[in-house]
Structure 1
Amino acid sequence: MQKQHFPRENARRKLPHYLEAETVDILIDEASSTSMMAANLLLTMWRAGLRVTEAVNLQARDLRLSGDYPQIHVRDGKGQKERYIPAHPELRDALRRHCRYTRVRGTDPIFVNERSGKKASRDTGYQWVMRALSRAVQAGRLPPGTRATPHTFRHSAARHWLANGVPINVVQRWLGHESLDVTLIYLALVPDLSHTMDHIP
């Protein structure tokens, strides 16, 4: 009799670290006190769930903020894949003001380093998050030990969408995940969904 081989279960995956919406708002507010550019980058990662590299690579032509269905076009996502993400009203309005103020056009980068005038980098995004976090802790608005990185904003967005009823397959598309399995881990961050089992006939 031929011996059967069964695949081993994958090692337990660590749950993504996320922030509550109120905490994200505090970080964005602290960023805005010193830099509109920084605040709008944080807002973009939060409201669109973008990776920091996707956010800093955005160009003026990627923002479609007029009409009934405002969208953000991610041209250079992970794996060289493109996708469209609906622009949340808060983000739409902020980016409209941003573009009017900066007068960006065509292939102009949306986010630039305010000192050098050059396109913001991944490191720039990280520095802006760290600066906002430091200010929030020093001001007593967030407790010492609060953790945040640019990717935390993406995790927080995914969790926030699911908690507010966005279907998992839509969240997968917005995040640009090739496999639904990658997106499913976020369900563990939304314990309130467990009560829905009581209503299944």
Structure 2
Amino acid sequence: MSEMRLYDTAGNRLYLNAEERAAFLAAARRQPARDRTLCETLLHTGCRPSELLEITPARVDLSGGTIAIRSLKKRRDGSGRQKVVYRTVPVPPDYLDTLNTAHGLREAQASRKRASAPIWNLSRVRVWQIVKRVMIEARIPDAPHRSPKGLRHGFGINAVVSGVPLHMLQKWLGHAQLTTTVIYADAVGKEEQDIAARMWGQGA
């Protein structure tokens, strides 16, 4: 398995920084409902596109403010059989309101058939195309981080900068090992300055 990194071999950043996340969100909010909610879900949950496409109305807890995501990375239990692992990720209330309004989630949850149908009936390629188009509109530079993976890494960086404990971030991102999540504690540049500023604020 290849090691997860925040920079490629040429030193290019692989995550969206705070300003780019804000620009992406602003551009997403100008899109049609389907594309807007798709982009906001990737931004607010840090899920992979393949995981997003499995989200159904039944997995959205409107009152609890969370989304249950099935981790698609293969894992084995003690007997060697593949495990099915779900994780719940807390999301902003205003985003949930938009998701509910755009897709009629509360009504869908009342129907067993609709509750188990994917919210976004798209291919992974189409998801990638939508995200790339919105990123271009947000004027995110044409670089390796302009991708859905850049959103996932940006979610991790933002969580660390915001003071989210690594064990909690591990759960939200669906990492099997904490050693994978620790990469986000190695934040640099403006993100590292924000972390240092919090430390200075706790000083003398």
Please give the range of the TM-score, normalised by the shorter of the 2 chains: 0.7 to 0.9
CA deviation map 1:54-100 (0-9, x unaligned): 1121111111112xx32111135322421111122232222122222
Residue in 2 aligned with 1:191? 192
- TM-score, normalized by length of structure 1? 0.75
Matched with 1:30 is: 27
Match of 1:107 in 2: 116
Decide which of 126, 129, 133 is 1:127's aligned counterpart: 129
SS at match of 2:104: helix
- Return 174-183 or 79-88, whichever deviates more: 79-88
The amino acid that maps onto 1:15 is L
1:33 partner SS: coil
**Identical residues among aligned pairs (%):** 26
CA distance in 1, matches of 2:102, 2:174: 25
Q: Which moved more, 1:97-106 or 1:154-163?
A: 97-106
Contact 2:5 2:183 in 1 (8 A): no
The yes-or-no answer on 1:39 pairing with 2:36 is yes
Written as runs of structure 1 = structure 2, the 5 A alignment for 1:40-189 is: 40-66=37-63, 69-79=64-74, 80-100=84-104, 104=108, 105-111=114-120, 119-137=121-139, 142=140, 147-189=145-187
Q: Normalised by the size of structure 2, how large is the TM-score?
A: 0.74
The higher radius of gyration belongs to 1
Of the structure 1 ranges 147-156 and 88-97, higher mean CA displacement relative to structure 2 is found in 88-97
- The code of the aligned residue for 1:108 comes to A
Amino acid at match of 2:119: I
Q: Does 1:15 align with 2:6?
A: yes
**Number of matched pairs:** 177
Specify whether residues 199 and 130 from structure 1 end up closer, same or farther in structure 2 by C-alpha distance, changes over 3 A only: closer
Partner AA of 1:77 in structure 2: L
CA separation of 1:198/1:86 partners in 2, compared to 1, >3 Å: closer, same or farther? closer
Q: 1:36 to 1:12 in 2, by over 3 A?
A: closer
Where structure 2 has 5 or more consecutive residues not aligned to the other structure, the ranges are 8-13, 75-83, 109-113
Distance in 2 of aligned mates of 1:102 and 1:39: 19
Rounded to whole Å, the distance in 1 between the matches of 2:88 and 2:103 is 19
Task: Summarize the Cα distance change of 1:143–1:183 in structure 2 as closer, same or farther, 3 Å threshold.
Answer: closer
Change (3 A) 1:106 1:70: same
- Aligned to 2:39, the other structure's residue is in SS state helix
Q: CA RMSD in A?
A: 2.9
Structure 1 stretches lacking a partner, 5+ long: 1-10, 112-118
**2:61·2:67 contact (CA, 8 Å) conserved in 1?**
yes
